[in-house]
Chains A and B, each alone.
Chain A
Amino acid sequence: MSLEIQTNTLQQRRQTFAHIARRFGEDRPATRYEEATLDLQPQRGFHYRPTWDPAHTLYDKSRTAITMADWYQLTDPRQFYYGTYTISRARMIETVDRNFESVARRGLFDAIDPDWQDLVRFYLIPLRHVEWGANMNACNITDVGCGTTITQPAIFAAMDRLGMAQIISRLGLGLGGAETLALGKDIWMTAPEWQPMRRLVEDSLVIEDWFEQLVMQFFTLDGLLFPLVYEAFDERGIAHGASGLSLICEFMVDWQRESSRWIDAVLTRAARESSENAALIGRWHTHWQARGIEALAPLASKVLGDEGEGVLAALAGSLAGRAAKIGMPGEGAVA
């Protein structure tokens, strides 16, 4: 009983959901991103206050000092929903897996200058813990953030951070097995050069305002750390035979480039909403940047020697450029 209807268009009653048509001001087809994102978060009529935080309701907008007339304006320029996100990451990780195989087959890690290997174990492996802290922060934003436009990229970011922590862990296993990971943990816990960073990460876990946490993690810290480690340190390492490492760490470079597009778009729109928002974002960035530089300086010095300070200052300068474009007031100056 099937009909030959493939060549005919059936009369549609509507092009999309009503809530989306209301936003558009007309009933027209919506993208998969729009249908999967807009207005999903419940707005009203909650039955019970959380017993774990009775001062707030579920989905309480007052958990941040940032205000938006419509939180769904903070759209993701990548337009990631679950399907496009996972397909993107599957492609990226396939490249990583192939590179791990090549590296293992050709013994490329063994070919790294032994002194440089020691340095890599020192600066890179503890970063898996920094990624784990970032995972926790991203997860917190998914928990209490306002609107699917923000919380959706947040859960994607949380899984990305876990993924990157696992790539770094695999690098550790490749650079000396389980003992390397144990050493990395030891360095993270006790090496003086790492304590400012560890303290920064632990402090970030208890930031009360989730939007402040978003700025601190995805704009400020990532904006300094990723280019420092995966570009500046990495470039230095090539001269020491570490190009196998570079290949695998391309994932991080690509990720940061993509994530910057997202966070810059979100902060730009939030800052444009009001001068109060812009001032808050600027203040948060300035505050946490000082901490970020304090945390990265000893590592920059350890890996890049005398050039470390200058490289870090240049990165802060680039970040100040991004901050200005976003509309943060003041110079966002380096302390």
Chain B
Amino acid sequence: MNVAANHTRPRKLNLKERYNHLTRGLDWDFSYQPKEKVFPFSDYEGIKIHDWDAFEDPFRLTMDAYWKFQAEKERKLYAVIDSFSQNNGQVNLSDARYVNALKLFITGISPLEYAAHRGYAHVGRHFPGVGPRIACQMQSIDELRHAQTQIHTISHFNKFFDGMHDPWHMYDRVWYLSVPKSFFDDAMSAGPFEFLTAISFSFEYVLTSLLFVPFMSGAAFNGDMATVTFGFSAQSDESRHMTLGLEIIKFMLEQDEANVPIVQKWIDKWFWRGFRLLSIVAMMTDYILPKKVMSWRESWEMYFEQAGGALFRDLSRYGITLPKYHEMATAGKDHISHQTWATFYQYTHAAAFHTWTPSDAEKAWFTEKYPDSFAQYYGPRFDHWEKQQASGDRFSNDGLPMICQVCTIPAIFTEVEDPTRISLRSCEHNGEKYHFCSDGCRDIFLDEPEKYVQAMLPVSQIFQGQCGGAGLSEVLDWYHLNQGADNCDHLESRDAAMWEQWHRSGKDPA
């Protein structure tokens, strides 16, 4: 088999062909070990795949291109991070209150990037198809990138501001961080097909824009150039992740009709869990950003109602419908940010970030952006709390709330028909009563009760004595929350005092 001696080269391969040779061609049919032993998790979820080669790889990135593009992005990003830190860019933020968003980010979102890194490595090993496996491995290393670039960006803020000093310790323990943790533990403990539906599709495709795009614009608006740069740098990876999500969904639906109801069930479940997880993001978007870009309601309309609407119209040809309870989530666009912020306001002593009541200008903005809900339900309550605070009687909630068995959020959300009534559901299982915030969460429980009974509900854990002691102070110590520094209202905080000092009279801060 000799090649001709006169430098004739084989026909140049096109993009698809070249990519296939450099990826699909690597695999082979095993002879010495049974396939089921090499891929033990591929069948138990009931998803049927007849032809793995039918998976279409979008963005056919070979490793040479990956390394080169990503290195370029890293060089640019770290130049900005270095510059921001050398020039103490944090002084040019719109306001110190902004930093509370970063506290939530490093404790509640960065650990999820890390979890995604490990979760995609799992699927990157255990999915039988070569194409999706490679896409998942690239996503695994991308997610490590995100965790690390976030750590490096936020590291600078940690040197000055409170609440960000022990993120991994807190993620494993703090009550509100069980919301992201249980979400991702749920995905990682699921099978490979469900994991991809949950994260690649529902989270990375349907919902992630609600987190990143408005929030990163918010970072830009509020002078945080380091976070903006990290955010946009990460988003170009996210585009690859999103396309994996869409491709994998279509692939499963096209492979066998029997997959459709299973996939629909997962779409329903993960839309709802994702929606609940986003209540913290809604709160960040509306309340924590001092200079606001758009309201949560506007984000929801753009990134779910419009973009999500187009997506599900496209998927309807497979028999897939919009997620169950999507109308409830849409109705929630007028409420969840206010309800969530109000909760942290009253639990300010137990939060590793600061709280405040909205200013008059902010209240006016809320009234304009939420014409159907703010003036009616939320403005008056903030006014009332403001008055109490002014008279030295700031309202704090001394009790511990009931936690939803599935989303692990306290039961703070209200009925769609009546926003003055808390939404509660319950059911019995093996002689025990379980409580939920909604039909969406209860449905998830009822489908797999043996899984959800295992959940580590933070309040139950405290009452069982698993959290450092019987009193609030002992629990906060166990959280490694620096009492009097990390928690309570912004105006009385060290962060605010330091900010004041930096900006006093415009002279050099000593």
Q: Chain A: residues with CB nearer than 8 A to chain B?
A: 1-6, 8, 10-19, 32, 35-36, 39-52, 58-59, 81-83, 86-87, 89-91, 93-94, 96-97, 104, 107, 109-110, 114, 117-118, 121, 128-129, 131-132, 135-136, 139-140, 142-144, 148, 151-152, 154-156, 158-159, 162-163, 165-166, 169-170, 173, 175-181, 183, 185, 188-189, 198-199, 202-203, 205-206
Contact = CB atoms under 8 A, between A and B. Distances in A.
Contact of A205 (B38, B111, B172): B38
Given A46-B456, A86-B70, A178 B92 contact: no
A169 B33 contact: no
Contacts of B158: 14, 16-17
A47 B22 contact: no
Contacts of A202: 30-33, 38
Contacts of B138: 159
How many B residues touch the partner, as a band? 35 or more
B117 A155 contact: yes
Contact of A110 (B5, B13, B118, B185): B5
Contacts of A41: 114, 118
Contacts of B30: 202, 205
Contact of B189 (A49, A81, A156): A49
A17 B155 CA distance: 8
B92 A2 contact: yes
5 contacts: A11-B509, A17-B158, A48-B451, A110-B6, A173-B18
A152 B147 CA distance: 12
Interface string B231-270: 0000000000000000000000000000000000000000
Contacts of A162: 63, 134, 137
Contact of A18 (B78, B125, B165, B178): B165
A117 B33 contact: no
Contact of B125 (A10, A82, A83, A140): A140
A17 B480 CA distance: 12
Given A8-B509, A49-B454, A206-B38, A83 B78 contact: yes
Nearest to B115: A42
Contact of A47 (B118, B140, B161, B456): B456
A48 B190 CA distance: 9
B455 A18 contact: no
A51 B31 contact: no
A40 B114 contact: yes
A51 B141 contact: no
A12 B168 CA distance: 22
B479 to A, nearest CB: 12
B506 interface: yes
Given A155-B117, A178-B17, 11 more contacts: A18-B165, A47-B189, A49-B189, A50-B189, A52-B126, A90-B67, A135-B137, A140-B125, A188-B28, A189-B28, A202-B30
Nearest to B146: A82
A166 B144 contact: no
B124 interface: yes
B419 to A, nearest CB: 30
Nearest to B173: A45
Interface in B159-212: 159-162, 164-169, 171-173, 178, 181-182, 185-186, 188-192
A interface secondary structure, majority: helix
A185 B28 contact: yes
A158 B92 contact: no
Interface in B51-95: 62-64, 66-68, 70-72, 74-75, 77-78, 86-88, 91-92
Given A17-B155, A177-B10, A143 B122 contact: yes
Given A42-B172, A82-B149, A173 B141 contact: no
B137 A139 contact: yes
B148 interface: yes
Contact of B145 (A47, A82, A129): A82
B174 to A, nearest CB: 10
Contacts of B114: 40-41, 148
A116 to B, nearest CB: 11
A180 B9 CA distance: 13
B21 A173 contact: yes
B181 A35 contact: no
Contacts, number: 282
Interface string B312-341: 000000000000000000000000000000
Given A18-B165, A42-B111, A42-B171, A159 B137 contact: yes
B185 A166 contact: no
A48 B185 contact: yes
A130 to B, nearest CB: 10
Q: Which of B4, B111, B118, B171 has the most CB of A within 10 A?
A: B118
A139 B189 CA distance: 18
A32 B156 CA distance: 11
Interface in B448-464: 451-452, 454-456, 461
B160 A139 contact: no
A177 B27 CA distance: 18
Nearest to A163: B63
B145 A206 contact: no
Contacts of A151: 118, 121
Contact of B121 (A45, A139, A173): A139
A117 B165 contact: no
B377 interface: no
B508 interface: yes
B2 A82 contact: no
Contacts of B169: 18-19, 39
Nearest to A204: B33
A36 B503 CA distance: 32
B303 interface: no
A159 B189 contact: no
B414 to A, nearest CB: 26
Contacts of B77: 83
Contacts of B145: 82-83
B115 A176 contact: no
A48 B10 CA distance: 54
A117 B2 CA distance: 8
B38 A139 contact: no
A185 to B, nearest CB: 7
Contacts of B25: 128, 169, 181, 185
Given A48-B455, A162-B134, A176 B181 contact: no
A197 B181 CA distance: 42
A189 B31 CA distance: 9
Nearest to B159: A12
Contacts of B494: 13
Contacts of B37: 206
Of A10, A14, A179, chain B has the most CB atoms within 10 Å of the CB of A10
B125 A159 contact: no
B168 to A, nearest CB: 5
A94 B63 CA distance: 12
